[in-house]
């Protein structure tokens, strides 16, 4: 896969950052490494090394499928790129979904739509922040990924807190 333009590298950074951030946010797995350096053996433009389990609870399986859809969903929402689910992420998501092809397709498409909503709602800032750091560094290892995670997603982030009705006195 070609990644020789800055626009393409940015798209890959957003894609991989979305896998990374969603994986951490949903508790799907521990990120070992995130890179936008082309991976020849996997024939991909980048890689978010998040080991997936072979067995999951139904909720864990749903979150793993959503994590696999997060890259393409972020591309569509944050870069305006209209790409369909395909490639290794799509195949792994289908494998996890189980059932016949039609059932798998419905599950994966539903997961992608739900992830797009999460990205529009609470994950767009951390994904773009992580993508910016990844774009500059090209590869981020596990230790640095954890530090960056705590910087972009501390518990005090106002966009993650539910809206609360409180009386506020405005001082002129």
pLDDT digits (tens, 9 = 90+) for 91-123: 888 888 888 888 888 999 999 999 999 999 989
Q: Please state the domain extents for the chain.
A: 6-160
CA distance 90 to 104: 10
Count CA atoms within 13 Å of residue 17 on its CB side.
Answer: 30
CATH class belonging to 6-160 = mainly alpha
Share of the chain above pLDDT 90, in %: 26
Count CA atoms within 13 Å of residue 56 on its CB side.
Answer: 20
- Provide the pLDDT confidence category of residue 6 given band limits of 50, 70 and 90: confident
pTM over 0.85: no
134, pLDDT greater than 60: yes
pLDDT digits (tens, 9 = 90+) for 27-61: 887 778 888 887 665 555 667 666 666 667 888 88
Residues 6+ apart with CB under 8 A from 154: none
């Amino acid at each position: 896969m070609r990644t020789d333009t800055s626009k393409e590298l940015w798209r890959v950074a957003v894609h991989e950052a979305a896998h990374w951030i969603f994986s951490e946010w949903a508790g799907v797995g521990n990120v070992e490494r995130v890179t936008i350096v082309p991976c020849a053996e996997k024939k991909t433009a980048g890689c978010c090394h998040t080991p997936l389990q072979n067995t999951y609870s139904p909720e864990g399986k749903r979150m793993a499928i959503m994590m696999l859809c997060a890259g393409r969903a972020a591309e569509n929402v944050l870069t305006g790129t209209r790409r369909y689910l395909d490639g290794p992420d799509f195949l792994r998501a289908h494998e996890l979904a189980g059932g016949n092809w039609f059932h798998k397709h419905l599950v994966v498409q539903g997961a992608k739509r739900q992830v797009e909503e999460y990205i529009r709602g609470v994950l767009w800032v951390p994904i773009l922040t992580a993508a910016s750091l990844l774009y500059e560094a090209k590869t981020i290892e596990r230790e640095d990924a954890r530090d960056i995670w705590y910087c972009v997603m501390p518990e005090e982030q106002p966009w993650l807190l539910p809206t609360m009705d409180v009386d506020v006195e405005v001082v002129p």
